[in-house]
């Protein structure tokens, strides 16, 4: 496999310049991890009071970082920059789906945050209270997050595509007393009625005493006396005198809910001090942020990617972060590239699913726009197929932009495995190496490291600053799910391998590894192979029970425009698989689909595909699903087979 090296000019200007610089960081972190993180925390962040201990392991796995230290995320994201030249720099550059635009400088952002924090304070909310934020992708969403962080109000952002039922579940689990929402938001030219969903959810949530509504769409909504208030009415008389609270480093910053296969969603708890340090360092190491950069993470703040790399990470390092409200293909499939061109974006971060969709649309859409401002690309959400990597590098990056293929989770809080773009030769499809201070490994079920080339389980052997602290209200589940599978390690739940050069290849969830006639295969491997075929834009592979082979392969395939989903193409893809991997891997079925079930963060929900094929029903949690109609179409297709 070819290695892709950064240009000499890119290396010379990088924050981590060259392989020796990366190896020096790693060596320092391994030799004295607490000293390593302590020095970074002191140089990168503001502390009202320095910590007494960097790490407390006495209650493992309930680790504590920067014990006794006092800090504030809102202060570090905004206030401190306003004492520097950055005060007049653009903090947030925003574009709504209808085309409206706004830019907030750091000074303007600080005034907005102070005013909204004053509103919350006047309503009686204090540190330790819980707020649900259910908003579209507008600047007031990060304003609300930062205002909560300023006062120590624990916030939970609920993705604005979730149903009233999903919203209610999260409000009740968090025992929230405050909901911050909007009348609606825009998605593919239509209004998403957020306030209506809030009203429906609150029928069963008596603990909520205040609802603050931002006017985004101008839709008519019901306002309940004594509970509901318009954001603009409250803001009109709000004070800008609202100092940031001096919070303990372990004070909970936010709770973000992730769905399991069954049961209620898990509330992932992230604290303040360690989290803000590690996301800040990822901005410098992975995204190589420079003072002149305009940075765009094209995710949604409703997911952890948006928390860490739209809001908190970029603002911590004082860069300009771009926010976009709507769909990437509305009104045409060039919307992302039009935005990148318009705002002269330098660093762009998106998901493999989005990249494969753009491939399906064709090169003509990015070719309409000048993407020469881009200098670095990123990938997040799931392993990226090498062929999609190559297209991303060639068409979007013009063959000049390194790609940081990042692996991390809601639970890890920050990027854990990734290239450092000025220091790491790239292999398409590999997340390369753990970041400095991250002790990742690939092991067997006894915790022994596998030999180079062998497959195993991805684990993290030592605590890291941005790690989640517990599951909200469920510490027993926290220990059982994450810390009891392979004793002494954090069990990631992903299969992986390390090659002879030490590069990490994440193969997907452990339950996405199949055993066909004694051959272990990952869904990622098979999907990458299918996407290499000239007719395939996207593929999802599952294993289903088979009396003869133990498991059989079923592949769901979305063809590239211009290729018809015929029996002949299905036969060709089955033969292609046999040629590329072996006859044992030949899919038992090829099912064509115009779309696959995905979360809004871009992950394919293979569990739902498995349920459709094996039981013809979907019974598990679907609250994270972006488009419910995809399931209906696939189920109808299954019924007609």
pLDDT for position 527? 86
Q: Which residue has the tokens 């997911």?
A: 303
Instruction: Decide if pLDDT at 81 tops 50.
Output: yes
What would the two tokens of residue 317 be? Answer: 């390092």
pLDDT score of 631: 76
* Average of per-residue pLDDT across 336-365: 94
Q: What is the mean pLDDT of residues 300-324?
A: 97
Which of 85, 149, 144 is CA-nearest to residue 158?
Answer: 144
The pTM (predicted TM-score) of the whole model is 0.85
Q: What are phi and psi of 86, to 5 degrees?
A: -70, -10
* pLDDT > 60? residue 641: no
pLDDT at 386 over 80: yes
Higher pLDDT, 91 or 617: 91
Can you give 450-500 as a three-state secondary structure string? CCCCCEEEEEECCCCCCCCCEECCCHHHHHHHHCCCCCCCEEEEEEEEECC
* CB of 263 closer than 8 Å to CB of 169: no
Confidence at residue 445, expressed as pLDDT on a 0 to 100 scale: 87
pLDDT tens digits along 182-231: 999 999 999 999 999 999 999 999 999 999 999 999 999 999 999 999 99
Q: How confident is the model at residue 292 (pLDDT cuts 50, 70, 90)?
A: very high
**Do 408 and 416 meet the contact criterion of CB atoms below 8 Å apart?**
yes
Question: What's the gap between Cα 408 and its chain centre?
Answer: 8
- Helix axis angle for 33-44 and 19-31, nearest 10°, is 110
Give the separation between CA 514 and CA 588, rounded to whole angstroms: 13
Closest CA to 435 of 613, 212, 279, 245: 279
Q: What is the pLDDT of residues 115-167, one digit of tens each?
A: 999 999 999 999 999 999 999 999 999 999 999 999 999 999 999 988 888 89
Q: Is the pLDDT of residue 390 over 60?
A: yes
What pLDDT, on the 0 to 100 scale, is given for residue 26? 98
427-450 in b/e form (b: 16+ CB < 10 A) is: bbbbbbbbbbbbbbbbbeeebeeb
pLDDT, position 512: 67
CA angle 112, 115, 116 (to 5 degrees): 85
User: In the chain, what percentage of residues exceed pLDDT 70?
Assistant: 93
Rounded CA-CA distance 637/132 in Å is: 38
What's the pLDDT at 261?
Answer: 41
Residue 322: pLDDT over 50:
yes
Taking residues 580-597, what's their average pLDDT? Answer: 84
Listed range (161-165, 370-374, 419-423, 539-543) with the worst mean pLDDT: 161-165
Please report the sign of the dihedral spanned by the C-alpha atoms of residue 295, residue 300, residue 301, residue 304. Answer: negative
| Count of CB atoms situated within 10 Å of the CB of 592 | 17
Q: Return the structure tokens found at 284.
A: 């410098």
Q: Is the pLDDT of residue 621 over 70?
A: no
Give the model's pLDDT for residue 547.
65
CB 459 within 8 A of CB 486: yes
């Amino acid at each position: 496999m070819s290695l892709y090296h950064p240009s000499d000019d890119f290396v010379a200007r990088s924050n981590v310049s060259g392989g020796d610089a990366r190896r020096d960081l790693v060596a320092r972190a391994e030799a004295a991890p607490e000293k390593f993180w302590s020095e970074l925390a002191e140089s990168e962040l503001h502390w009202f009071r320095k910590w007494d201990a960097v790490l407390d392991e006495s209650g493992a796995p309930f680790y504590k970082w920067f014990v006794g230290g006092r800090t504030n995320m809102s202060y570090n994201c905004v206030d401190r920059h306003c004492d520097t030249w950055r005060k007049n720099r653009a903090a947030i550059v925003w574009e709504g789906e209808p085309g409206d635009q706004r830019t907030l400088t750091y000074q303007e952002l600080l005034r907005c945050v102070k005013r909204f924090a004053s509103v919350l304070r006047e309503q009686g909310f204090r540190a330790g209270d819980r707020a649900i934020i259910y908003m579209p992708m507008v600047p007031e969403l990060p304003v609300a997050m930062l205002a909560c962080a300023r006062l120590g109000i624990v916030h939970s952002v609920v993705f604005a595509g979730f149903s009233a039922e999903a919203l209610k579940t999260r409000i009740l689990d968090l025992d929230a007393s405050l909901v911050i929402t909007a009348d609606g938001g825009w998605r593919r030219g239509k209004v998403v009625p957020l306030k209506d969903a809030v009203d429906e959810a609150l029928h069963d949530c008596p603990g909520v005493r205040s609802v603050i509504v931002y006017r985004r769409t101008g839709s008519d909504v019901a306002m309940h006396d004594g509970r509901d208030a318009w954001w603009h009415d409250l803001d009109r008389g709000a004070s800008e005198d609202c100092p940031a609270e001096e919070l303990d480093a372990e004070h909970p910053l936010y709770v973000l809910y992730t769905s399991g296969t069954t049961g209620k969603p898990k509330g992932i708890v992230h604290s303040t001090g360690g989290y803000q340090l590690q996301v800040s360092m990822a901005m410098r190491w992975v995204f190589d942020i420079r003072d002149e950069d305009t940075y765009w993470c094209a995710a949604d703040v409703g997911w952890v990617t948006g928390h860490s790399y739209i809001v908190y990470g970029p603002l911590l390092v004082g860069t300009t972060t771009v926010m976009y409200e709507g769909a990437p293909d509305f009104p045409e499939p060039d919307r992302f590239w039009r935005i990148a061109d318009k705002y002269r974006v330098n660093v762009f971060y998106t998901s493999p699913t989005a990249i494969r969709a753009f491939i399906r649309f064709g090169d003509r859409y990015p070719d309409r726009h000048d993407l020469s401002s881009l200098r670095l690309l990123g990938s997040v959400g799931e392993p990226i197929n090498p062929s999609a990597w190559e297209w991303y590098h060639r068409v979007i990056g013009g063959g000049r932009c390194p790609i940081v293929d990042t692996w991390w989770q809601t639970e890890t809080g920050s990027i854990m495995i990734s290239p450092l773009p000025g220091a790491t030769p790239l292999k398409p499809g590999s997340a390369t190496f753990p970041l400095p201070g991250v002790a990742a490994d690939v092991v067997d079920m006894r915790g022994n490291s596998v030999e180079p080339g062998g497959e195993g389980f991805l684990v993290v052997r030592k605590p890291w600053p941005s790690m989640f602290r517990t599951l909200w209200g469920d510490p027993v589940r926290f220990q059982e799910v994450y810390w009891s599978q392979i004793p002494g390690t954090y069990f990631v739940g992903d299969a992986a391998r390390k090659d002879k050069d030490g590069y990490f290849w994440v193969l997907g969830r452990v339950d996405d590894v199949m055993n066909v006639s004694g051959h272990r295969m990952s869904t990622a491997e098979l999907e990458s192979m299918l996407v290499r075929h000239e007719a395939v834009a996207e593929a999802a592979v599952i294993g289903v029970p088979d009396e003869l082979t133990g498991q059989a392969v079923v592949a769901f395939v979305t063809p590239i425009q211009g290729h018809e989903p015929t029996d002949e193409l299905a036969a060709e893809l089955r033969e292609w698989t046999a040629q590329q991997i072996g006859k044992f891997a030949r899919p038992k079925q090829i099912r064509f689909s115009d779309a696959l079930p995905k979360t809004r963060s871009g992950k394919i929900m293979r569990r739902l595909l498995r349920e459709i094929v094996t039981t013809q029903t979907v019974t598990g949690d679907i609250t994270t699903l972006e488009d419910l109609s995809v399931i209906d179409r696939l189920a109808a297709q299954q019924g007609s087979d």
